[in-house]
Structure 1
Amino acid sequence: MDLHKRYKKKVLNNTNTLREKETLELQWYFENVTLKTMPSVSHIQITDPDEYTITETTKYCDVILEDITNNDKKALDEKNMYTKISENIDVGCYIYFDSSFWLVIFKEHKTINDKKHFIVRRCNQFVNYKYKGEVYKIPVSIENLTMYSDGLADGVNISTEDAKRQIWYGNNPITRLLKVGTRVMLTHNTVFRITHINDFEFVGNETGSDGIIKALVLQTGILKKDDLENNIAYNDNSEIAQEDENLEIIGSDRIYVGSYKDYNINKSSILFELEDTPYAKLENINDNTCRVIISSNSNCIGKSITLIAKNNNEVVDRKKILIIS
């Protein structure tokens, strides 16, 4: 054995550099000592990227949750969260802690890769969104933007309500159904319409998650079809379509280079295909869900691919997907 190999085995513990050795030691200490001895360790449920909410099958993780010193009402209660490097967590995921849902809103890019550091924000409301007959309960964090006005817009003869709110929620296949113009009910007697969607400011960049969305909503009128009792606002896509021709592929229209996205369609026995492309490959997960995996080659950035859904060998929908960096 030459001198260099002896040095790596004895001093570096078979790592390549001293920095790598120390980083691995810090990772080991965090996972085997800190996570087992710190009083602030919690065993909680955390969603995977693109998992829209917490269910019985959501994974459990050991994490450290610490209060932020200068917390106030404006921050709506935010906390630092530390996890193992190996945990599949990113911006836009949800956690369940202290009988509340919390949204992961920020990830710190650490110079020493010994653990992951996030900031989580408590969700203070739910949006019940009905899509094609099924109701999805989406945890959200709401900010009141009507702070220095009475929330009324004065016209020539009448005054109309124009209260504004900002809603934070994870970017996933369900919440991406909420478009500009979608109506949401935040209480049992007030309905708001989405007027702007910010899905580019807080973006996940590690596992295919799209981060968080901040939607601006404006108060609007109540319709007869609004379900005030169950807190569900009516939209054009609330009810089940009468014909299969209205089927559409659900999923993001953007994928990061070197990552993947899952797509599905609200019907069984669907065959997915990609138009001839060297930039991506396809994996079928079940009879109505597929995974599109993008090449790590940077030459494909800015290129578009087309996902096709077929039923009984007939095309029911096409979706154009942009590859981004």
Structure 2
Amino acid sequence: MSYLDKYKRMVSVDNMKTTKDLLLEAEILSFQEYLNGAPNQYAYNKYKDTNKFFCTIQDTAFNDNKNGDEKILCVENSSILVMGDLIECDGKIWLISFEEHNTVKSHKTFIMRPTNNSLKYIVNKNQVNEAIFNVPAIVTNQTLYTVGLNDGTYFNTGDTKLSCIIGVSKDTMYIARDMRFIFNTNSEKVAYFITYVDTISKEGLLICTLKETIIVEEDDLEKGIAFNDMGKISIKDMDNTTKIVAVQGTNVDYINFESLKSYHMLDDKNIEPVGRTFSWRLEQSVENPLITPADLITKLEIISPVSCRLTSNDKIKGYFNLISICNEDKTEIVNNLRIKDSMDL
């Protein structure tokens, strides 16, 4: 059989789709049929969002004391759910803590865990508008081999440590090292401060380490809000040198076929802007007026207040504009990007 004959067998003459395309479409349709008729199908909404989405939910294990009440959540590819999202389910608030990268892209698979506490704090913007944030969190005890006391010069303080996992959102942009929080521990109010914030290990999540500290007079124990000097944040005008930079690698101007690439905002000091949030959109490039951004990018995800993630298509090459919009002052920054094959220069 000639190469041409083999190609004709591999490609559908009617719609010029390869066998791979047809099989993937069949898998997507199969999942949609399963979702519509599954006994474990549910309609839930994201935290503080009234829009419902359909999903299937199943247990990862029964009576799993190590991982808590983890659930596997499956949704269609078109779902806007991402790592770090919060979901209201069965009277609890659940955090999406893991995303499985399926070998067959017929649907999305996540693992979610119930939150068991919250980080409560005040932000005083420009000394005018005071806002109280209450961020659902997964808090676990990290105190292993310790007597629970830290001997100071004049007094003893607790030496317990906590690990706290929260999803990245506009409400968490102010959380940083040395911030203090109040937790209820055995019906007692205990203060902790952040010693480390991990923003790298899991995209879309902040993993904080906290250590016990003393209660101070300014703490509001009744409301459960700790005193923080650093909570008084002043938002300044964005510097014109703020730019869009690729998180992975140094090449910001292209994405290969079937690839993920994340982009975030950096200021003139090459750090992410504090106290600012950004929206993102795609725009057609004048370099290829007949090719739309929808032809080139299959998914645009907001993964943090200052970053987004793009998923490229697997066939069409071309250019498009990635635009970030500062929500505070509406400043727009445009970056021209290219979709290409990995063999292209």
Q: TM-score, structure 2 length as denominator?
A: 0.66
Partners of 2:31 and 2:168 in 1: CA distance: 30
* Residue 186 (structure 1) aligns with: 183
1:230 equivalent to 2:234? Answer no
2:214 is matched with which residue: 208, 215, 221? 221
Name the aligned partner's letter for residue 195 of structure 2: T
CA deviation after TM superposition for structure 1 residue 62, in Å: 0.3
Deviation by residue 1:173-225 (Cα, 9 ceiling, x = unmatched) = 3213111111111226111000011110011xxxxxxx111100001111211
Deviation by residue 1:115-138 (Cα, 9 ceiling, x = unmatched) = 111111110111112111200110
Q: % of aligned pairs identical? A: 24
Partners of 2:201 and 2:110 in 1: CA distance: 16
- Asked if 1 retains the 8 angstrom alpha-carbon contact of 2:44 and 2:89, the reply is yes
* Residue 82 (structure 2) aligns with: 90
Partners of 1:287 and 1:28 in 2: CA distance: 42
Equivalences for residues 302-313 of structure 1 within 5 A? none
Equivalences for residues 263-302 of structure 1 within 5 A? 282-284=323-325, 288-289=329-330, 294-296=335-337
Partners of 2:50 and 2:274 in 1: CA distance: 20
1:247 is matched with which residue: 216, 235, 240? 235
Distance 1:43 1:230, change over 3 A: same
Name the aligned partner's letter for residue 233 of structure 1: A
1:168 equivalent to 2:156? Answer no
* Residue 128 (structure 1) aligns with: 120
Distance 1:70 1:28, change over 3 A: same
Name the aligned partner's letter for residue 137 of structure 1: N
Alpha-carbon RMSD: 3.4
Deviation by residue 1:42-95 (Cα, 9 ceiling, x = unmatched) = 10113xxxxxxx21x453210111101255223121111111011112211111
1:149 equivalent to 2:166? Answer no
CA deviation after TM superposition for structure 1 residue 238, in Å: 3.4
1:26 equivalent to 2:27? Answer yes
Partners of 1:178 and 1:74 in 2: CA distance: 27
SS in 2 for 1:27: helix
Partners of 1:128 and 1:97 in 2: CA distance: 21
* Residue 38 (structure 1) aligns with: 38
Partners of 1:248 and 1:261 in 2: CA distance: 19
Name the aligned partner's letter for residue 214 of structure 1: I
Unaligned runs of 5+ in 1: 47-53, 204-210, 267-278, 299-325
SS in 2 for 1:75: coil
Distance 1:259 1:216, change over 3 A: closer
- Asked if 2 retains the 8 angstrom alpha-carbon contact of 1:280 and 1:292, the reply is no
SS in 1 for 2:57: strand
Distance 1:96 1:186, change over 3 A: same
- Asked if 2 retains the 8 angstrom alpha-carbon contact of 1:183 and 1:193, the reply is yes
Distance 1:223 1:102, change over 3 A: same
SS in 2 for 1:174: helix
Partners of 1:253 and 1:236 in 2: CA distance: 31
Distance 1:85 1:280, change over 3 A: closer
Distance 1:197 1:253, change over 3 A: farther
Q: TM-score, structure 1 length as denominator?
A: 0.70
Q: Which moved more, 1:289-298 or 1:128-137?
A: 289-298
- Asked if 2 retains the 8 angstrom alpha-carbon contact of 1:76 and 1:121, the reply is yes
Distance 1:265 1:183, change over 3 A: closer
- Asked if 2 retains the 8 angstrom alpha-carbon contact of 1:264 and 1:288, the reply is no
Distance 1:294 1:264, change over 3 A: farther
Matched length: 262
Partners of 2:18 and 2:331 in 1: CA distance: 41
Partners of 1:142 and 1:108 in 2: CA distance: 23
